[in-house]
Chain A
Amino acid sequence: MAIKEDTIAAISTAFGEGGIGIVRMSGEEAGRIFSEIFVPASGKEIVSRMLTYGSIRDPETEEVIDEVLSVFMPAPHTYTTEDVVEIDCHGSVVSLRRILELCYKMGARPAERGEFTKRAFLGGRIDLSQAEAVIDVIRAKTDLGFDVAMKQLDGSFSEKIREIMNEILDILVDIAVNIDYPDEDIEVLVYEKMEKALTRAKEKVDALAASQDTGRLIKEGLKVSIIGKPNVGKSSLMNALLGESRAIVTSVPGTTRDTIEESYDLRGIPLRITDTAGIRDASDEIERIGIEKSKDSFNRADLVIFMIDASRDLDEEDEEIMSVIAGKKLLILLNKQDLGTVVSREKIENRFPGCVICETSLGHGADAGAVEDAVYDMVMQGDVKQSESLVVTNARHADLLRRASSQLGDAIAMTRLSEPLEVIEIDIDQSRQYLGEIIGEEATGDIIDEVFARFCLGK
């Protein structure tokens, strides 16, 4: 019943420091890819459904990426009812990413959010009662997450992609007009010219792909930094958002000794929240290191949540923080409303005109929803943007760039052989589709529009 689809791959555990991370693949090609990249330590054949120790190796470069425990599970008795491979590795973000990218390179494609679950459902693995939940996951991806990812794309990066897409469009338009209007008084498309244009486009794609630095991988998500003087309720906020006690919460100032970073999915928006140690002068050496990290963290933050204890007057430490955070995108929480309101909303509004302010009582777990709403709105309205520069931050982009480049390479080779235009066109068009996927634009239909806009044609 289920429609057979591409083989997909994704990291199926949340990003975190340490522990074990799993790369999972599902689909017809999973077994083939696995046999090409996995080398069992025993040197024996891979046995189905047996957890096997070995290494992941790039068959092209023969470089060993990581030592792993892996298992191949043939269809249909798997989660998705397709062939499934799970690769458990040490879990450093770098090796997880590199293994994932290798899977892409070998023919898998990035899984969409919820795609494993969707396949499991369509394969009959998931109970009917959960259909709603599956739909929610699918919706979350496109309606929120995807839009957000697009909005957050660095302007100059998408600009570069668009520029290459336009160059490729020029070639496609030339091909289209040459094929569909052979009798018209137009310049004949010569292969040398096409080869030059294709080569230029490929070089640009490759340069963009090379700007990806796998060594300093940047984890996905908006960086949100929580700041405030000790004991203002930062850890309570973190816990309220994450729904479990991650950070230690006591009322002794300085309890949070280190910055704590958590990945968190706010209604489809990936966030990386850092709970800082505060920036108070500290005598304790360990605490001092923590404070340095805090400063560093909020300097790089896309959004700073500044928490104020509204039940007490602003003190020197609050003032110090206020002087440091000026100019950052801010969400201000007037917390501990349940203990009284000494610091009024007006007072803060005067200090930070136009700034988003929430009055909260997080100590009792209340009001986390209001904070979520505020962050969500700020992101969706485009107030908060990711600050990464022109670096491909995302394995999906890298994969699509690689595919686009390979299609252009094929097109160039065929151009050199003087193959027919309509054959070469297929690969050129496909490369443009891949680039379009990066910036979320469907690249269809406009070729014909351009043909008529640029050429004087007609009977």
Chain B
Amino acid sequence: MSYEMGKYDIVVVGAGHAGCEAALASARMGMSTLILATDLSSVAMMPCNPAIGGTGKGHLVHEIDALGGQMGINIDKTFIQSRMLNTAKGPAVHSLRAQADKTEYHLEMKRTLEQQDGLDLKQGEVVDIIVEKNEDGADEIGGVLLRTGAIYRARAVILCTGTFLGGKIFIGESVYESGPSGMSPATVLAENLRKRGLPMRRFKTGTPARALASSLDYSKMQKQAGDETISPFSFMTDSLSKDQEDCWLTYTNEETHTVIRNNFSRSALFGGKIVGTGPRYCPSIEDKVKRFADRKRHQLFVEPEGLHTEEMYIQGMSTSLPEDVQEEFYRTIEGLENIKITRPGYAIEYDCIDPTALKTNLEYREIRGLFCAGQFNGSSGYEEAAAQGLMAGINAVLALKHEKSFVLGRNEAYIGVLIDDLVLKGTNEPYRIMTSRAEYRLLLRQDNADERLTEKSYRIGLASKERYDRYLAMKEMTEKETERLETTKVSPAAVNPILEACGSTPISGSVSLADLMRRPQVGYEDLAPADPAREELPPRIKTRVEVGIKYSGYIEKQQQRVDKFKRMEERALPEDLDYENIDGLRIEARQKLAAMRPDTLGQAGRISGVSPADINVLLIHLERMRRSR
């Protein structure tokens, strides 16, 4: 028997990285919100690697933060090691990554949810969604049903089920239904979503073993320490300093590969039991050994799971081989000879939706008010999940307020690239963000995420006044300093020794500081001795000023491309456009457009099967409609 347990504006199903952002955004935007998890000890759990950020992912976290999300603040509070990657390359691809204390990360996020006004956190397993007919006869979400029979009514529901949905774990020959890390899976919900006609499919991912630190010999490994100067993720954090933990690097060898090869037959992966599609960028060690047979070694990092535990994460060695084989091959590795495994690696298969069934605001097209985010949408990674959760939360709120959807363009944010790719192109494997996926990489930097996004978020009522004011203050500082550098000239006598030291050619007449900074060898800090009027600025501002000046030419060039792109991107397509009856569209284009209903002409052009000629036909059609009105 079912029974009524309450009424909310928005119910979020799942409290992983997507669910947390969705629920916080919803509550912060003034909606009464409920977040449900099968087990509250899984709030913001990190069942795989103990790190936040990395290439592309670091960009996502900065963007989540700039929009008023929680991930950046949470990791700034709970990290135990921080590194800026790619510092040898240009500023657009500098990528921040931090090792998290997993338990602290979970507790800090859980506390944030608990303390958030307008948000209720409850333990409970959702087994079905409630769908009703509205006045127009269309399907509309009504709430969720829990295993206990409890019904929570809601005007919008956000599904963030992660690897819990229909989860199945594989360790060698053993296969059992399970959520991540032994949590209980959401099996009934998976069945019911299928019954309701959601286009579901099956993906797979994997994780390596955890081992006791005391059983490892670090003297045989290379140390990887954190950065001396720590860059925070959050624009709300000025600076950070902390004693950091080390990570360790070691390698597999021929012996390791032989053990693995001899046991291919016992691998769940090659045994044909796993039907889900795994990501290519995250292959298991047995996959690596098989596909890259000529490689003599593969690297692995040993990373701490937190300060309250001895457990270490063996990054690079995800596997679904049986436990005895895992122990055998780990022991062939230098430094791991006496390894004591606390948790074996496993592969996990789960249900997710074909994201092309979603609108760009992450709402499922067939059921009004049903929003989806995270791994449920076919992505992979904590950061990708959080980004979508945030956007789904915002858009659920806006939908309830009957306001325009909040959709970020490919030229505005990695979040835009991520969602645009998922929704318009779909994905055949768990989708991971990469900087290579962004067309306008120079514009989408970590350092300027607030310039790109904070004002937009403030306008829709998510980013706080405090955040907005900080953004304005930083913007002003940046502009003032840039202007000062452009107009301050230095004499050859003052600056030539510096230039010489930098390996740059000396000047003969006076030149502006900004012009000198445009030289590849000369940086902002280098010029300090020749610039006595300089005020000490926060590191973030220095970076921003330097990037703005050094790369202004390239940034401008890319901006021109964006302007061209925007002409198509900003051309809205009417929602009721009858694609089936537009003369001149090819059949495939008609079907695809009718099914996906893109918001803009630009989006239409990115749908596979829609050609440039189809876009021209649409242009002509729009003009014809305009004139006959």
Instruction: Please tell me if the beta carbons of B298 and A181 are within 8 angstroms of each other in the complex.
Output: no
Q: Which of B609-625 contact A (CB under 8 A)?
A: 611-613, 616-617, 619-621, 623-624
Instruction: Please tell me if the beta carbons of A121 and B56 are within 8 angstroms of each other in the complex.
Output: no
Docked Cα-Cα span, A143 to B611, in Å, equals 10
- Given A422-B92, A422-B442, A448-B436 in contact, is the A182-B616 Cβ separation under 8 Å? no
- Given A1-B626, A448-B434 in contact, is the A420-B583 Cβ separation under 8 Å? no
Instruction: Please tell me if the beta carbons of A422 and B89 are within 8 angstroms of each other in the complex.
Output: yes
Interface string of B284-304 (1 = CB under 8 A from A): 000010011001011101000
Instruction: Please tell me if the beta carbons of B613 and A3 are within 8 angstroms of each other in the complex.
Output: no
Chain B residues whose C-beta falls within 8 Å of the C-beta of A141 in the assembled complex: 613
Residue of B95, B568, B612 touching A3 (CB-CB under 8 A): B568
Interface string of B36-73 (1 = CB under 8 A from A): 00000000000011000001100000000000000000
Instruction: Please tell me if the beta carbons of A4 and B567 are within 8 angstroms of each other in the complex.
Output: yes
Question: In the complex, what's the smallest C-beta–C-beta distance from B38 to chain A, in angstroms?
Answer: 26
* B554 at the A interface (CB under 8 A): yes
Instruction: Please tell me if the beta carbons of B318 and A458 are within 8 angstroms of each other in the complex.
Output: yes
* B401 at the A interface (CB under 8 A): no
Instruction: Please tell me if the beta carbons of A182 and B436 are within 8 angstroms of each other in the complex.
Output: no
Chain A residues whose C-beta falls within 8 Å of the C-beta of B616 in the assembled complex: 118, 138
Question: In the complex, what's the smallest C-beta–C-beta distance from B431 to chain A, in angstroms?
Answer: 11
Instruction: Please tell me if the beta carbons of A180 and B434 are within 8 angstroms of each other in the complex.
Output: yes
Determine which residue in A182, A418, A452 has the highest number of CB atoms from chain B within 10 A of its CB, and name it.
A182
Instruction: Please tell me if the beta carbons of A139 and B584 are within 8 angstroms of each other in the complex.
Output: yes
Chain A binder among B17-25, B104-112, B275-283? B275-283
- Given A139-B617, A184-B299, A459-B318 in contact, is the A179-B93 Cβ separation under 8 Å? yes
Determine which residue in A4, A138, A447, A448 has the highest number of CB atoms from chain B within 10 A of its CB, and name it.
A138
Look across to chain B and name the residue whose beta carbon is closest to the beta carbon of A184.
Answer: B299
Look across to chain A and name the residue whose beta carbon is closest to the beta carbon of B606.
Answer: A444
Docked Cα-Cα span, A458 to B432, in Å, equals 11
Look across to chain A and name the residue whose beta carbon is closest to the beta carbon of B284.
Answer: A458
- Interface SS of chain A: helix
Number of interface residues of A (CB under 8 A): 45
Instruction: Please tell me if the beta carbons of B55 and A128 are within 8 angstroms of each other in the complex.
Output: no
- Given A143-B586, A179-B89, A182-B55 in contact, is the A128-B624 Cβ separation under 8 Å? yes
- Given A3-B568, A143-B586 in contact, is the A422-B435 Cβ separation under 8 Å? yes
Chain A residues whose C-beta falls within 8 Å of the C-beta of B95 in the assembled complex: 182
Instruction: Please tell me if the beta carbons of B49 and A456 are within 8 angstroms of each other in the complex.
Output: no
Question: In the complex, what's the smallest C-beta–C-beta distance from B582 to chain A, in angstroms?
Answer: 9
Docked Cα-Cα span, A417 to B299, in Å, equals 33
Instruction: Please tell me if the beta carbons of A134 and B567 are within 8 angstroms of each other in the complex.
Output: no
Instruction: Please tell me if the beta carbons of B627 and A128 are within 8 angstroms of each other in the complex.
Output: yes
Docked Cα-Cα span, A211 to B93, in Å, equals 40
Chain B residues whose C-beta falls within 8 Å of the C-beta of A63 in the assembled complex: none
Chain B residues whose C-beta falls within 8 Å of the C-beta of A420 in the assembled complex: 89-93
Look across to chain B and name the residue whose beta carbon is closest to the beta carbon of A454.
Answer: B292
Instruction: Please tell me if the beta carbons of B56 and A459 are within 8 angstroms of each other in the complex.
Output: no
Chain B residues whose C-beta falls within 8 Å of the C-beta of A4 in the assembled complex: 567
- Given A3-B567, A181-B55 in contact, is the A457-B624 Cβ separation under 8 Å? no
Instruction: Please tell me if the beta carbons of B292 and A456 are within 8 angstroms of each other in the complex.
Output: yes
Determine which residue in A141, A178, A417, A457 has the highest number of CB atoms from chain B within 10 A of its CB, and name it.
A457
* A266 at the B interface (CB under 8 A): no
Question: In the complex, what's the smallest C-beta–C-beta distance from A417 to chain B, in angstroms?
Answer: 6
Docked Cα-Cα span, A184 to B435, in Å, equals 16
Instruction: Please tell me if the beta carbons of A142 and B612 are within 8 angstroms of each other in the complex.
Output: yes
Instruction: Please tell me if the beta carbons of A122 and B435 are within 8 angstroms of each other in the complex.
Output: no
Docked Cα-Cα span, A94 to B562, in Å, equals 38
* B441 at the A interface (CB under 8 A): yes
Chain A residues whose C-beta falls within 8 Å of the C-beta of B281 in the assembled complex: 452, 457-458
Chain A residues whose C-beta falls within 8 Å of the C-beta of B574 in the assembled complex: none
Instruction: Please tell me if the beta carbons of B611 and A180 are within 8 angstroms of each other in the complex.
Output: no
What is the interface residue range for chain B against chain A? 35 or more
Docked Cα-Cα span, A121 to B89, in Å, equals 48
* A248 at the B interface (CB under 8 A): no
* B522 at the A interface (CB under 8 A): no
Q: Which of B166-184 contact A (CB under 8 A)?
A: none
* A356 at the B interface (CB under 8 A): no
Instruction: Please tell me if the beta carbons of A422 and B298 are within 8 angstroms of each other in the complex.
Output: no
Instruction: Please tell me if the beta carbons of B93 and A121 are within 8 angstroms of each other in the complex.
Output: no
Chain A residues whose C-beta falls within 8 Å of the C-beta of B299 in the assembled complex: 184-185
Q: Which of A123-139 contact B (CB under 8 A)?
A: 124, 128, 131-132, 134-136, 138-139
Docked Cα-Cα span, A456 to B257, in Å, equals 14
Question: In the complex, what's the smallest C-beta–C-beta distance from A187 to chain B, in angstroms?
Answer: 12
* A176 at the B interface (CB under 8 A): yes
Look across to chain A and name the residue whose beta carbon is closest to the beta carbon of B299.
Answer: A185
Look across to chain B and name the residue whose beta carbon is closest to the beta carbon of A5.
Answer: B567
Question: In the complex, what's the smallest C-beta–C-beta distance from B440 to chain A, in angstroms?
Answer: 9
* A183 at the B interface (CB under 8 A): yes
Instruction: Please tell me if the beta carbons of B554 and A423 are within 8 angstroms of each other in the complex.
Output: yes
Residue of A138, A182, A184 touching B620 (CB-CB under 8 A): A138
Residue of A128, A178, A417 touching B628 (CB-CB under 8 A): A128
* B99 at the A interface (CB under 8 A): no
Chain A residues whose C-beta falls within 8 Å of the C-beta of B586 in the assembled complex: 143
Docked Cα-Cα span, A87 to B402, in Å, equals 55
Question: In the complex, what's the smallest C-beta–C-beta distance from A172 to chain B, in angstroms?
Answer: 9
* B406 at the A interface (CB under 8 A): no
Instruction: Please tell me if the beta carbons of A451 and B436 are within 8 angstroms of each other in the complex.
Output: yes
Look across to chain B and name the residue whose beta carbon is closest to the beta carbon of A429.
Answer: B439
Instruction: Please tell me if the beta carbons of B90 and A423 are within 8 angstroms of each other in the complex.
Output: yes
* A421 at the B interface (CB under 8 A): yes
Docked Cα-Cα span, A118 to B584, in Å, equals 14
* A419 at the B interface (CB under 8 A): yes
Look across to chain B and name the residue whose beta carbon is closest to the beta carbon of A4.
Answer: B567
Chain A residues whose C-beta falls within 8 Å of the C-beta of B458 in the assembled complex: none
* A413 at the B interface (CB under 8 A): no
Docked Cα-Cα span, A456 to B316, in Å, equals 10
Question: In the complex, what's the smallest C-beta–C-beta distance from B382 to chain A, in angstroms?
Answer: 12
* B558 at the A interface (CB under 8 A): yes
Docked Cα-Cα span, A132 to B620, in Å, equals 9
Question: In the complex, what's the smallest C-beta–C-beta distance from B554 to chain A, in angstroms?
Answer: 5
Interface string of A431-459 (1 = CB under 8 A from B): 00000000000000001100110001111
* A210 at the B interface (CB under 8 A): no
Docked Cα-Cα span, A459 to B301, in Å, equals 9
Chain B residues whose C-beta falls within 8 Å of the C-beta of A178 in the assembled complex: 89
Residue of B295, B435, B567, B583 touching A180 (CB-CB under 8 A): B435
Docked Cα-Cα span, A419 to B554, in Å, equals 11
Interface string of A98-142 (1 = CB under 8 A from B): 000000000000000000001001101000100110111011011
Additional 8 contacts, C-beta under 8 A, given A185-B297, A426-B557: A3-B567, A128-B627, A135-B620, A136-B584, A176-B434, A182-B85, A418-B520, A458-B283
A residues with CB within 8 A of B: 1-5, 118, 121-122, 124, 128, 131-132, 134-136, 138-139, 141-143, 176, 178-185, 417-423, 426, 447-448, 451-452, 456-459
24 A–B contacts, CB within 8 A, in A order: A3-B567, A4-B567, A124-B627, A128-B627, A131-B623, A136-B584, A138-B616, A179-B435, A180-B55, A180-B56, A180-B435, A180-B436, A182-B89, A185-B297, A417-B520, A422-B93, A422-B435, A422-B441, A423-B551, A447-B436, A456-B291, A458-B316, A458-B318, A459-B48
